[in-house]
Amino acid sequence: MAKAPKTAISPTRADDYPQWYQEVIKAADLAENSPVRGCMVIKPWGYNLWENMQRALDDMFKATGHQNAYFPLLIPMSFLEKEAEHVEGFAKECAVVTHHRLEPDPDGGLRPAGKLEEPLIIRPTSEMIIGATFAKWVQSHRDLPLLINQWANVMRWEMRTRMFLRTAEFLWQEGHTVHATEAEAVEETERMIDVYADFAENWMAMPVVIGSKTAAERFPGAVDTLSIEAMMQDRKALQAGTSHFLGQNFSKAQEIMFQAESGEREHAWTTSWGVSTRLVGALIMTHSDDDGFVLPPRLAPQHIVILPIYRDDESRAAVVEYAQSLKKELEAQRYADAPVRVMIDDRDVRGGEKKWHHVKRGVPIRLEVGPKDIEKNAVFMGRRDQPKSIGVGRDELVSTVADILSDIQQTLFDRALKLREDNTVTITDEKTFRDFFTTKDENTIHGGFAYCHFADEESIEPLLKELKVTIRCVPRDNNDTPGTCFATGKPAAKQAIFAKAY
Amino acid sequence: MAKAPKTAISPTRADDYPQWYQEVIKAADLAENSPVRGCMVIKPWGYNLWENMQRALDDMFKATGHQNAYFPLLIPMSFLEKEAEHVEGFAKECAVVTHHRLEPDPDGGLRPAGKLEEPLIIRPTSEMIIGATFAKWVQSHRDLPLLINQWANVMRWEMRTRMFLRTAEFLWQEGHTVHATEAEAVEETERMIDVYADFAENWMAMPVVIGSKTAAERFPGAVDTLSIEAMMQDRKALQAGTSHFLGQNFSKAQEIMFQAESGEREHAWTTSWGVSTRLVGALIMTHSDDDGFVLPPRLAPQHIVILPIYRDDESRAAVVEYAQSLKKELEAQRYADAPVRVMIDDRDVRGGEKKWHHVKRGVPIRLEVGPKDIEKNAVFMGRRDQPKSIGVGRDELVSTVADILSDIQQTLFDRALKLREDNTVTITDEKTFRDFFTTKDENTIHGGFAYCHFADEESIEPLLKELKVTIRCVPRDNNDTPGTCFATGKPAAKQAIFAKAY
């Protein structure tokens, strides 16, 4: 047996995918656990990535007519009592604020004091407080559509957490819109899932399928939940964004009414949609490899790192000067409507260590510059998506850098798409379905996407539970050919995607 | 007595300044109270202003080498116990999380359940949790300087709140930096107060004085607190930003140590600095008038609003088309390194009402366009900083729009500076000091800035308390001429600014 090549990340994906994921986060300096259970510290490299995601999404939201606003972190407990009345066995895992002061405890240390008349909860979503506000803002058809987005932190008391994918506190955006007609609200729901798909594919280089959730998987209270579903490298699905058509359900519960042109008072039609720091987790699991993180150029905090290589102070001066002038020249180039982002790593660290530092952090292009390169007016270029570094002339590099970045972006998308296509099957019988999803090891690979016609969600639920498989979505596009249910043989109008999932 | 002209805001500044402030916020759609006491909803127009402030500041922070990161919302109670040990009569007004679930109460409604082993508090600042994290991140002199900023929501259980100026939850940025030497930390502290002053003067058009806080007014634990102080229209001072040199006090408390080049383990030198949504309040109180909000162009969500004026559907089509092509042409112009921001208000609302809507919201330039204007290829322009509207040719408008915006920005700054200069005095005796600060009415005007030499803070404290005056700062610049204390006659090295304050 050939000896496996040494990798920067241990364990590898093939050895233990969940542990590999944690190690990539650590090696790439993206985040770390905090002293508060389930909450993370997002480190500068990870946060810069999130900022780039925010900027791109925010521009898309504004281009589609939305405005940002900010609503309070805390929500009175009574706002949830209405919801509780309708939910059997209601129990909400959330952070509850009961006091407004700390004071010395006579037994030592501190204790909570100043008990609140009404407990407050930290928003798990702002749905309810925004709804109550919209009920005041919306009076007439002239106030519609109302297209609001909020960037905020939210909190859900999760028992099992995993960095970026499921944390107690996370960062997200939540869009909330109000419309005069059903058709406009449906159109908005579709528009925003298309925005998410556009962002996922063209910025994250992550192919997604758009579809509707089935009744059992739908957001509670939604008439229709659209989602984008991506395949991770372990063949599991990850829901990367959702857009909900809420009909008049929320406007009735929250009394969001408007005077129509006819003069009648009517209940409005609402939507909501969101993505979160979970996308960072999705990005990591889509592109990273056994050497660490791999960043799609459009979202990379830095496109290029220049590594000056020198032996002594004399050669250092020349090399650093060359690096600086090269940086300036590259920064004058534009890629994807923005200047190329370049950093020089001139830390006093061994060359090999320095190189691997940036490999693990996923920088798309590394340029090594030493005295010999200067003589040849060239650099030694390593692309993060390719195993070997190559020599390239300085002028050629500068004139083609945008193309190289485009090519890396496209290569990452193509690889992710190929992985998905190679692991997507159509299944028409239960035996094949069982085989596809039966895995020996929880920590490696998990079937893939199975397109299956299905007649009725309830009757297949025991099978799905047994195999730990879920219906990801009923794809929106190219899904009009009827067939028979893979499990019951009954006639079925549509296919759904079945997969194990995060 | 001449009849006072009718104003859009009632009461006027002269009648009742605090109430005028609340009415401007309401009339300009900036924010409103929420169902949670002391917490506000920041409405789209107010939030867009905050976003513009954030963007400008964030660019300045990054240009000075800082990176953003994100730390948890919740802080374990034990993190505050160390602080409590040193503070007599410790009591911290803050939101305390004691439970992690809501469940049905047998007596009806909901109740908190799942008591936490250790209470958590919602961050009133992230000082302590960031310090604990930095203690892990900083190991060697190679890790320094560490220059981190965070944009976040924080919470302080304030008893008396006022929108933007003092709210229980507010949005802010907090910079936290670690340095190897005292000199570098002092330099950072100065650099960031200069950044804030630059932002206040050149973006907000709000003149400020940079100075040091006296011992009694200093941030607890700081060696030196620098602040920027601005004068509001009621002559009160508002502290708009602070930058703290923390010496080794925090690094000792939090054990932030590094291995120096010499090999020795040393305590690091730290700084912190912050501004908040309070700046929105400062902006309102600096420029607004009795007709509502006045926006400095560099921060305005929209620079220009075009108001189509028409009588019937036929004229409507031509007017709207003209407005749209004018919008496009104006948007192709650049002001202050960014495209000119233009909106068309084509709502079905009476012309007068529509005009006042935008006056109250502070849009720098209003352009009315009707059929007669089209014939003349002209528009009717209202500048928010001038009382009268004037006709202007379209071509002239387009070619000079950037200059007009610059002129408005400069005019607002000059007016604010003149107000400050007109109400700044030098006082050398107690009688004049008393007279200057004795006001008949809490709701109107309050003296101004008094520059006074002072010898010793403690001895003048009773006088200051009596007059409700505080020492705002010891100005940094042009303050080297010794004199005698206005109150005690003792020799005094420096002048301070005395004022009533927000």
* Cα(A150)–Cα(A71) distance, integer angstroms: 8
* Cα(B122)–Cα(B96) distance, integer angstroms: 7
Are A169 and B74 inside 8 Å of each other by CB? yes
Q: Tokens 């921060």 belong to which residue?
A: B299
The whole-angstrom distance between B135's CA and the closest CA on chain A is 13
Model pLDDT for residues B376-421, shown as the tens digit of each residue: 999 999 999 999 999 999 999 999 999 999 999 999 999 999 999 9
CB-CB neighbors (< 8 A) of A152 in chain B:
153
Considering only CB atoms, A35 lies closest to which of B35, B41, B76, namely: B76
Considering only CB atoms, B68 lies closest to which of A48, A121, A142, namely: A48
| Domain A424-499 indexed as CATH 3.30.110.30 | yes
Check residue A141 and give its pLDDT.
Answer: 95
Is residue B475 over pLDDT 90? yes
Higher-confidence position of B83 and B365: B365
The whole-angstrom distance between A60's CA and the closest CA on chain B is 16
Mutation site for A-interface testing, chosen from B30, B52, B57, B73 by largest number of A Cβ within 10 Å? B73
Considering only CB atoms, B44 lies closest to which of A68, A347, A349, namely: A68
Considering only CB atoms, A68 lies closest to which of B48, B104, B111, namely: B48
Whole-number mean pLDDT of chain B? 95
The whole-angstrom distance between A373's CA and the closest CA on chain B is 27
**Which chain A residue lies closest to B155 (C-alpha atoms)?**
A73
**Which chain A residue lies closest to B114 (C-alpha atoms)?**
A93
- Find out whether A319 and A313 touch, Cβ atoms under 8 Å: no
Is residue B283 over pLDDT 90? yes
The whole-angstrom distance between B74's CA and the closest CA on chain A is 7
- Count Cβ–Cβ pairs < 8 Å, chain A vs chain B: 212
Are B41 and A69 inside 8 Å of each other by CB? yes
Cis peptide, bond prior to residue A11, ω within 30 of zero: yes
Q: Is residue A312 classed exposed, middle or buried when 0-12, 13-18 and 19+ CB atoms within 10 A define those classes? A: exposed
Higher-confidence position of B88 and B226: B226
Using CA atoms, how far residue A11 sits from A20, A361, B441, in Å, is 5, 17, 73
Is residue B32 over pLDDT 50? yes
CB-CB neighbors (< 8 A) of A105 in chain B:
none
Region for B405 from its dihedrals, namely left if φ exceeds 0, alpha if ψ lies in -120 to 50, beta otherwise? alpha
| CATH code 3.40.50.800 region(s) in chain A | 300-420
Considering only CB atoms, A110 lies closest to which of B77, B98, B155, namely: B77
* Cα(A197)–Cα(A171) distance, integer angstroms: 19
* Cα(A342)–Cα(A397) distance, integer angstroms: 13
Architecture of domain A17-73+124-287: 2-Layer Sandwich (3.30)
| CATH code 3.30.930.10 region(s) in chain A | 17-73+124-287
Are A112 and B120 inside 8 Å of each other by CB? no
Q: What is the mean pLDDT of residues B20-34?
A: 98
CB-CB neighbors (< 8 A) of A69 in chain B:
41-44, 47
The whole-angstrom distance between B119's CA and the closest CA on chain A is 8
Are B93 and A81 inside 8 Å of each other by CB? no
CB-CB neighbors (< 8 A) of B99 in chain A:
95-96, 98, 119
Are B349 and A142 inside 8 Å of each other by CB? yes
pLDDT tens series, chain A, 502 aa? 455 568 999 999 999 999 999 999 999 999 999 999 899 999 999 999 999 999 999 999 999 999 999 999 999 999 988 777 766 777 789 999 999 999 999 988 999 999 999 999 999 999 999 999 999 999 999 999 999 999 999 999 988 999 999 999 999 999 999 999 999 999 999 999 999 999 999 999 999 999 999 999 999 889 999 999 999 999 999 999 999 999 999 999 999 999 999 999 999 999 999 999 999 999 999 999 999 999 999 999 999 999 999 888 888 999 999 999 999 999 999 999 999 999 999 988 887 899 999 999 999 999 999 999 999 999 999 999 999 999 999 999 999 999 999 999 999 999 999 999 999 999 999 999 999 999 877 788 889 999 999 998 999 999 999 999 999 999 999 999 999 999 999 999 999 999 999 9
The whole-angstrom distance between B458's CA and the closest CA on chain A is 29
Architecture of domain B17-73+123-287: 2-Layer Sandwich (3.30)
Are B100 and A93 inside 8 Å of each other by CB? yes
Check residue A282 and give its pLDDT.
Answer: 98
| B482 Cα distance to chain centroid | 33
Lookup: tokens for B321? 């088309």
Model pLDDT for residues B418-468, shown as the tens digit of each residue: 999 999 999 999 999 999 999 877 788 889 999 999 998 999 999 999 999
Are A98 and B110 inside 8 Å of each other by CB? no
Q: With cut-offs at 50, 70 and 90, classify the pLDDT of residue B1.
A: very low
Neighbouring CB atoms inside 10 A of A332's CB total 10
pLDDT-above-70 percentage for chain B = 99
* Cα(A419)–Cα(A421) distance, integer angstroms: 6
**Which chain A residue lies closest to B42 (C-alpha atoms)?**
A70
ipTM: 0.96
The whole-angstrom distance between B289's CA and the closest CA on chain A is 25
3-state secondary structure of B81: helix
* Cα(B359)–Cα(B291) distance, integer angstroms: 7
For residue B300, the one-letter residue type is A
| CATH code 3.30.110.30 region(s) in chain B | 424-499
Mutation site for A-interface testing, chosen from B36, B39, B58, B105 by largest number of A Cβ within 10 Å? B36
Model pLDDT for residues B332-379, shown as the tens digit of each residue: 999 999 999 999 999 888 878 999 999 999 999 999 999 999 999 999
* Cα(A196)–Cα(B22) distance, integer angstroms: 39
Considering only CB atoms, B347 lies closest to which of A67, A100, A142, namely: A142
3-state secondary structure of B206: coil
The whole-angstrom distance between A429's CA and the closest CA on chain B is 43
Are B77 and A42 inside 8 Å of each other by CB? no
Is residue B82 over pLDDT 90? no
Check residue B350 and give its pLDDT.
Answer: 84
CATH superfamily of A300-420: Anticodon-binding domain (3.40.50.800)
- Find out whether A144 and A188 touch, Cβ atoms under 8 Å: no
Considering only CB atoms, A35 lies closest to which of B43, B100, B129, namely: B129
Q: With cut-offs at 50, 70 and 90, classify the pLDDT of residue B37.
A: confident
Contacts of B192 (CB under 8 A, 6+ apart): B64, B175, B243, B271, B273
The whole-angstrom distance between A29's CA and the closest CA on chain B is 11
Considering only CB atoms, B47 lies closest to which of A68, A76, A84, namely: A68
Contacts of A315 (CB under 8 A, 6+ apart): A370, A371
**Which chain A residue lies closest to B55 (C-alpha atoms)?**
A55
Q: What is the mean pLDDT of residues B103-128?
A: 94
For residue A373, the one-letter residue type is D
**Fold designation for B302-406:** Rossmann fold (3.40.50)
Q: Helix, strand, coil % (nearest 5) of chain A?
A: 35, 30, 35
Check residue B86 and give its pLDDT.
Answer: 67
Mutation site for A-interface testing, chosen from B102, B118, B158 by largest number of A Cβ within 10 Å? B102
* B278-287 helix and B17-27 helix, angle to the nearest 10 degrees: 110
| CATH code 3.30.930.10 region(s) in chain B | 17-73+123-287
